Amino acid sequence: MRILVVEDEVKIAKFIKRGLKEEGYAVDISADGEDGHFLVTTNEYDLIILDLMLPKLDGLSLCRKLRNEKIKVPILMLSAKGTVKDKVNGLDSGAEDYLAKPFAFEELLARVRVLLRNKDVRVPTQLQAGDLVMDLLNHKVTRADKKIHLTVKEYMLLEYLIHNAGTIVTRTMISEHVWDIHFDTFTNVIDVYINYLRNKIDTGFEHKMILTVRGKGYMLQK
């Protein structure tokens, strides 16, 4: 899952980003409304966390603008303004949820999970390709009932691959969904992590699941 945080307070933005990344989300940050609009219209996001008091274009105006452009990404608004009227204005502008500052990160995370879950009621709790199984609730991975221990980034990469099993995914697609906008696409980090996964997923099995498609990218066989 890829989340955009539009927040001009640097400390808050970094705090949210760090916490979400620890939970396995890919996170981009924007410090003003105009840049936030540009990122939303040029990238694919699963959720937007949007502050109201922003330079260049305020949060309410940005939310209305996105909804007028038929962009339906769920929006969680953040604001130091916590009156009933403020919340109503935020929700009426097109946001799905509204959280007043200061907030507990645990509550923010719970609201994020709800919005992502509501985005698609068919979101599974388990992903499977052949004998490879991902338990999304408990963050456990097995192949042929053998437990496989993955780092957070390896888990995120495998989740993206298994979501797209049978389809070629490019390095650019992987970087956009597993890393963030500051990721250097000219490094070989993706290839390194693909090899890490291969060593854990395919070693000891005759059938190799992670394939390299020369000149295009990678594919997880169903």
Q: Give the tens place of pLDDT for each residue, 67-109.
A: 999 998 999 999 888 788 888 988 999 999 999 988 889 899 9
How far is 158 from 133, CA to CA, in rounded Å? 11
The answer, yes or no, to whether residue 122 has pLDDT greater than 70, is no
Distance in Å from the first CA to the final CA of the chain: 21
- Residue where a domain terminates, one of 103, 119, 135: 119
Q: Provide CB contacts within 8 A for 198, sequence distance 6+.
A: 208, 210
Q: Same domain, yes or no, for 160 and 60?
A: no
**At 172, which CATH number?**
1.10.10.10
Percent of the chain at pLDDT exceeding 70 = 94
On whether the CB atoms of residues 161 and 210 are closer than 8 A, the answer is yes
Q: Do 215 and 170 fall within a single domain? A: yes
pLDDT average, residue stretch 195-202: 94
The domain boundary residue, chosen from 79, 102, 119: 119
Q: Which of 73, 89, 119 is the last residue of a domain?
A: 119
